Amino acid sequence: MSGYPGVGTVLVIIPTYNEADNIRIIVERVRTATPDVDILVADDNSPDGTGAIADELAAGDPAVHVLHRPGKQGLGAAYIAGFGWGTEQGYDAVVEMDADGSHAPEELPKLLDALAGADVVLGSRYVKGGRTVNWPAHRQAISRIGNLYVRLALGMPLRDATGGYRAYRTPVLGKLELDTIASHGYCFQVDLAWRAHREGFRVAEVPITFTERERGQSKMSSSIVREALWKVTLWGTSARWVALKRAVAGNGPAR
């Protein structure tokens, strides 16, 4: 376990489900782009043999590890399991990265350099310098409108709270009550960003290029989008109600 300058030991968590066509490629790219980080493949018992391929990679490289999970339980659950594993092993920081190549490992140093002066770093498609490549127009519209709604509903000054390429210092995760998270997909990412923002952690955004996957099938679904819309509305309404009650209590007659 080596370290990244200014950050310490880093674990890149790559959740997988049926990513046999991609896992060798993404692991090789991470190891080439950032030799000083370790990798954890969190596989949800992929029927296409992704877990077995990950085991082969781990057998030939001490920086690659595999967490076998009993079945498909969602992106959020896979990351939380990976966070727990990384914390138990004593890593100073953990990174979320998709297996399909949409998150370029070559941009990981950019995130880690920013983490040297922050607690959480989000790879952002919607800050200056960020962009998307080969993404269908309807997916980009959903993403942009969703992020605008998140900013308005939650009052977070983040341009890309739904993105899944990000880095956390592990002490931050211990403050976010991960055992109470039941969100998936977009909503999981918003939930973590919202919790970090409310706790007052330093959350930074750096521009990334998001590229639509070339191999395999996207896990995104309309149910994940609906979940995000419902929960963000609920969180925003609840936060405003709590703020209103505090304001009324503060301005009311003394008791």
pLDDT at 253 over 60: no
Q: For residue 255, what pLDDT is reported?
A: 35
Residue 216 CB partners (closer than 8 Å, separation 6+): 18, 19, 21, 22, 100
pLDDT at 254 over 60: no
Give yes or no for a contact between 143 and 125, defined as CB atoms under 8 angstroms apart.
Answer: yes
Please provide the DSSP assignment of 107-154 as one string: GHHHHHHHHTT-SEEEEESSSTT-EEES--HHHHHHHHHHHHHHHHHH
State the pLDDT confidence band at 1, using cuts at 50, 70 and 90.
low
State the pLDDT confidence band at 247, using cuts at 50, 70 and 90.
confident
Q: Is the pTM higher than 0.85? A: yes
Listed residue (108, 115, 40) closest to 78, CA to CA: 40
State the pLDDT confidence band at 223, using cuts at 50, 70 and 90.
low
**Cβ atoms within 10 Å of 111's Cβ, excluding its own:** 27
When pLDDT is averaged across residues 217-227 and rounded to a whole number, the result is: 61
**What is the overall mean pLDDT for the chain?**
90
104's tokens: 């370029």
pLDDT at 91 over 90: yes
Q: For residue 92, what pLDDT is reported?
A: 98
Match 């966070």 to its residue by tokens. Answer: 83
pLDDT tens digits, one per residue of 28-85: 999 999 999 999 999 999 999 999 999 999 999 999 999 999 998 889 999 999 999 9
Q: For residue 234, what pLDDT is reported?
A: 76
Give yes or no for a contact between 68 and 53, defined as CB atoms under 8 angstroms apart.
Answer: no
Give yes or no for a contact between 42 and 82, defined as CB atoms under 8 angstroms apart.
Answer: yes
Question: 177 in helix, strand or coil?
Answer: coil
Helix 108-115 to helix 23-33 angle (10° resolution) is: 50
Long-range pairs, 195-202, Cβ under 8 A, ≥24: 196/119, 196/120, 196/168, 196/172, 197/154, 197/156, 197/158, 199/172, 199/175, 201/119, 201/120, 201/172, 201/175, 202/117, 202/118, 202/119, 202/120
Superfamily of domain 10-251: Spore Coat Polysaccharide Biosynthesis Protein SpsA; Chain A (3.90.550.10)
When pLDDT is averaged across residues 104-127 and rounded to a whole number, the result is: 98
State the pLDDT confidence band at 183, using cuts at 50, 70 and 90.
confident
pLDDT at 249 over 80: no
118's tokens: 């922050």
Listed residue (20, 21, 2) closest to 62, CA to CA: 2
**Cβ atoms within 10 Å of 60's Cβ, excluding its own:** 8
Q: For residue 220, what pLDDT is reported?
A: 52
For the ranges 23-37, 97-111, 227-241, the lowest mean pLDDT is seen at: 227-241
pLDDT tens digits, one per residue of 196-205: 999 999 999 9
pLDDT at 166 over 90: yes
Q: For residue 160, what pLDDT is reported?
A: 96
- The rounded distance, in Å, linking the Cα atoms of 236 and 136 is 29
Pick the more confident residue, 17 or 182: 17
251 — phi, psi (to 5°)? -100, -5
Share of the chain above pLDDT 90, in %: 70
